[in-house]
Structure 1
Amino acid sequence: MKYLVMVQGTQADYESMRGKASAQAPVWSEQELQAMYAYMGAISDDLSESGELVDAQGLVEPAQTRLVSRGPDGKAVITDGPYSETKELMAGYWVVDCASLERVTEIAERVTRCPGPEGLTEYPVVIRRIQDGAGDI
């Protein structure tokens, strides 16, 4: 079965990686950033070697988000980020093809151990099964 494994973050998290600390996010050192990228890369490499990796990507900061919705008149309403009312958003993901929910849970548990600076907010890793067909809701 295919699963989406989502890592979450906020605009403050992205800014802290660029050296701007906040009450929610401590500044990352260059060593901490490199350790995080190496750790996440190793997960992707291991999943690729096992044949379970379908796709994996990091996403740009929420400030570069665009929302498209339909207004009351039926016309598109387009809003560019950042969105102060938004809390956590997907920061990156893996799409994996695993034999079981237990296996993808092992992967998510590994993701939670990613290194970072002291005081880093720890977000849950979200697992969602990808639908196989229209009747699979």
Structure 2
Amino acid sequence: QLNITLANSRIKAGETTTVTFAFNEAVTGFTRDDVVLSDANGTLGEPTTSDNGRTWTATFTPTANVEDSSNTISVNLAGVTNTAGTAGSGQASSTNYGIDTRRPTVVAITVADMHLGIGETTTVTFTFSEAVTDLVL
């Protein structure tokens, strides 16, 4: 049995997160090759263990320019064995996690008064594809 969790389940541009693979018993032979990333939208570093094979961690880096809330990381359990040498079977999967590495875009710019005279001011409105913070002009 395996529980796969991500430290951050809503990953944004410029972020990485730790993925924890918690087996119900110590295993050997667990490598990145056992991890299925076909629905992950990212890459994974090599898993390491600090408790003799029961819990493994690796760094997940999301793919750029992705906006998807239904990502999963899976493991093919046939690639791992317990300490008695018995190979696992089946597959385990994480719950869905979100990735938003797509940068906002400007979808409209409107000017309240298109015919300004000397000394006049107007309001310019920028509409983005999503909410933004820290806008610097």
- Scaled by the length of structure 1, the TM-score of the pair is 0.33
Q: Would you tell me which structure has more helix in proportion to its own residues?
A: 1
Q: Would you tell me which structure has more strand in proportion to its own residues?
A: 2
Report which of the two structures shows the higher radius of gyration computed on alpha carbons: 2
Structure with more contact order per residue of length (Cα contacts < 8 Å, sep ≥ 6): 1
